[in-house]
């Protein structure tokens, strides 16, 4: 008996669901910690008290506990949003069950799930989105930097895309400008007065993403309320499905249906809502790889890639590097009230020989950082922080005894830089022969190959 009682107490105090039990006279006999949090009462205020005295406004019809006691019927998954005793806005989903022993009702138990946090998360995502859409200034193709033939071809395609409402798939490594180009397409299109709504498919769990995209109706799942999704919010405008390759495959099937049929259905609804939304999707990996490895549905890919825009990585269009340097220096001269005219040759060479795995974003960040430090008219190596100097100008000294480790640099990044430099040195020593280099480093050829790919080292 003692064991059972203790066990029950432990369970009651440690579960996430709020538990409130009343006896047949309507007095509270159990009120656990989670319930305290939900309703804002202390256990002492509730246990041993009559429910009707505590909540004078409640009666057998409005109180789920009293109603279960009276009718001997369970009430399941009742959604509630209310201000609790402490004035906090609470969203909960309650199930109330009569307790019947030997055919006699001896009490009722209410089990309450706290959905406040989930609802807040949901609200935040949808509101965040509104903010970012309102915040974004209009982008025009004039803001886009680059003059290499490869890149001009990309821009030509994007300009054509802005003249239509066809779906677009933008493919490019991280930081190549997928988002800015998507925004340009929208802002130069006939939809520019309507919303541009961006959603990052990788950032949200599957369960939430569907509701966020298509909306929900009350009661469709525990915690759901009537709410339009981003597709409805974007009506007449453009929706950007960022990192589509990270969208759960089941949801991709639903998206395909939307694309084909031109209407959406809120989660849990039976109605179809017609929508007119232009879709731009982005992916940072080659679609064929995504398809082969099962991350993207082939049929969705064909449906989306009516217009396929590939943005080449920066290392494949090195002519653009000096242009970016110049333009970003111009921008930060203005923004940071600097007066830089010139780039030192060391800086120039470093920028030209680097591989730019983070592409334009990485380049822009480095320039911004250095521009903050610069005094005078020449941008020099010393204006870059130590870890950037190591990366860009191979200023790295692999001497462990010289513990000049900059604790601002993540360890992984630091070790990667060290490894990359050792490999480069070994390659040089072995006259760029892969087998010899692998031997020298005493690692397998495949391992070396893998690392060469990882660091973007090519002949």
Ligand X SMILES: Nc1ncnc2c1ncn2[C@@H]1O[C@H](COP(=O)(O)OP(=O)(O)OP(=O)(O)O)[C@@H](O)[C@H]1O
Q: Can you give the binding site for Mg ion, defined by CB under 5 A? A: 179
Question: Taking CB under 6 A as the rule, does residue 312 contact ligand X?
Answer: no
Q: Which bin fits 209, alpha (ψ -120 to 50), beta or left (φ > 0)? A: alpha
d(CA 197, CA 234): 6
Q: Taking Cα atoms as reference points, which of 284, 198, 206, 197 lies closest to residue 249?
A: 206
Residue nearest to ligand X (CB): 177
| Contact of residue 108 among Mg ion, ligand X, none (CB under 5-8 Å per partner type) | none
d(CA 368, CA 331): 9
Question: Taking CB under 6 A as the rule, does residue 180 contact ligand X?
Answer: yes
Closer residue to ligand X in complex, CB, 141/414: 141
Candidate segments 171-179, 343-351, 376-384, 432-440, binder of ligand X by CB under 6 A: 171-179
| Contact of residue 70 among Mg ion, ligand X, none (CB under 5-8 Å per partner type) | none
Report which DSSP code applies to 295: S
Show the site string, 334-373: x = touches ligand X by CB under 6 A, - = not.
Answer: --------------------------xx--x---------
Spacing of C-alpha 41 from chain mean position:
36
| Contact of residue 98 among Mg ion, ligand X, none (CB under 5-8 Å per partner type) | none
Q: Taking Cα atoms as reference points, which of 415, 424, 428, 361 lies closest to residue 387?
A: 415
In sequence order, the 6+-apart residues with CB closer than 8 A to the CB of 402 are none
Closer residue to Mg ion in complex, CB, 179/320: 179
Angle at which helices 206-214 and 116-135 pack, to 10 degrees?
50
Shortest distance (Å) from residue 328 CB to ligand X: 8
| Contact of residue 175 among Mg ion, ligand X, none (CB under 5-8 Å per partner type) | ligand X
- Asked whether the beta carbons of 114 and 37 are under 8 A apart, the reply is yes
| Contact of residue 180 among ligand X, Mg ion, none (CB under 5-8 Å per partner type) | ligand X
Shortest distance (Å) from residue 280 CB to Mg ion: 11
Closer residue to ligand X in complex, CB, 272/286: 286
d(CA 93, CA 259): 34
| Contact of residue 229 among Mg ion, ligand X, none (CB under 5-8 Å per partner type) | none
Separation in Å, CA 277 to CA 140, 167, 254: 21, 9, 15
- Asked whether the beta carbons of 244 and 284 are under 8 A apart, the reply is no
Closer residue to ligand X in complex, CB, 175/211: 175
d(CA 238, CA 280): 7
Show the site string, 120-149: x = touches ligand X by CB under 6 A, - = not.
Answer: ------------------------xxx---
Closer residue to Mg ion in complex, CB, 171/379: 171
Candidate segments 129-137, 170-178, 334-342, 412-420, binder of ligand X by CB under 6 A: 170-178
d(CA 109, CA 98): 6
Residue numbers at the binding site for ligand X (CB under 6 A): 144-146, 172, 174-180, 284, 360-361, 364
């Amino acid at each position: 008996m003692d064991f059972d009682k203790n066990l029950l107490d432990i369970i009651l105090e440690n579960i996430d669901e709020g538990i409130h039990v009343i006896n047949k006279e309507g007095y509270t006999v159990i009120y656990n910690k989670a319930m305290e949090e939900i309703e804002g009462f202390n256990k002492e205020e509730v246990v041993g008290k009559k429910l009707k005295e505590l909540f004078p406004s409640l009666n057998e019809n409005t109180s789920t506990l009293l109603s279960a006691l009276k009718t001997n019927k369970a009430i399941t998954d009742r959604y509630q949003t209310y201000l609790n005793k402490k004035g906090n806005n609470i969203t909960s989903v309650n199930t109330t069950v009569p307790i019947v022993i030997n055919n006699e009702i001896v009490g009722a138990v209410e089990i309450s799930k706290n959905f406040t946090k989930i609802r807040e998360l949901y609200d935040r995502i949808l509101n965040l989105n509104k903010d970012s859409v309102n915040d974004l200034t209009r982008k025009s193709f004039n803001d886009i930097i680059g003059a290499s033939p490869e890149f001009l071809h990309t821009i030509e395609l994007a300009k054509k895309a802005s003249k239509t409402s066809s779906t677009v798939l933008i493919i490019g490594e991280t930081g190549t400008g997928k988002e800015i180009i998507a925004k340009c397409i929208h802002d130069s299109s006939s939809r520019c007065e309507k919303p541009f709504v961006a959603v990052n498919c990788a950032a949200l769990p599957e369960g939430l993403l569907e509701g966020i995209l298509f909306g929900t109706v009350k009661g469709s799942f525990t915690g759901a309320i009537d709410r339009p999704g981003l597709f409805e919010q974007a009506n007449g405008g453009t929706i950007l499905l960022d990192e589509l390759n990270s969208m759960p495959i089941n949801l991709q099937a639903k998206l395909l249906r939307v694309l084909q049929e031109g209407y959406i259905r809120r989660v849990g609804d039976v109605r179809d809502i017609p929508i007119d939304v232009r879709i731009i999707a982005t992916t940072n990996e080659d679609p064929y790889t995504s398809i082969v490895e099962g991350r993207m549905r082939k049929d969705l890919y064909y449906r989306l890639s009516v217009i396929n825009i590939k943005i080449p990585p920066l290392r494949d269009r090195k002519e653009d590097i000096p242009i970016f340097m110049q333009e970003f220096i111009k921008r930060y001269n203005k923004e940071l009230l600097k007066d830089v005219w010139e780039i030192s040759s060391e800086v120039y060479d470093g920028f030209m020989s680097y591989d730019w795995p983070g592409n334009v974003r990485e380049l822009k960040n480095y320039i911004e950082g250095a521009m903050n430090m610069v005094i005078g008219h020449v941008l020099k190596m010393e204006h870059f922080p130590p870890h950037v100097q190591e990366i860009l100008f191979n200023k790295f000294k692999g001497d462990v005894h010289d513990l000049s480790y900059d604790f601002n640099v993540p360890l992984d990044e630091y070790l990667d830089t060290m490894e990359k430099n050792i490999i480069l040195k070994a390659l040089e020593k072995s006259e760029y022969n892969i087998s010899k280099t692998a031997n020298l480093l005493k690692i397998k050829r495949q391992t070396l190959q893998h690392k060469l790919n990882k660091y973007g080292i090519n002949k």
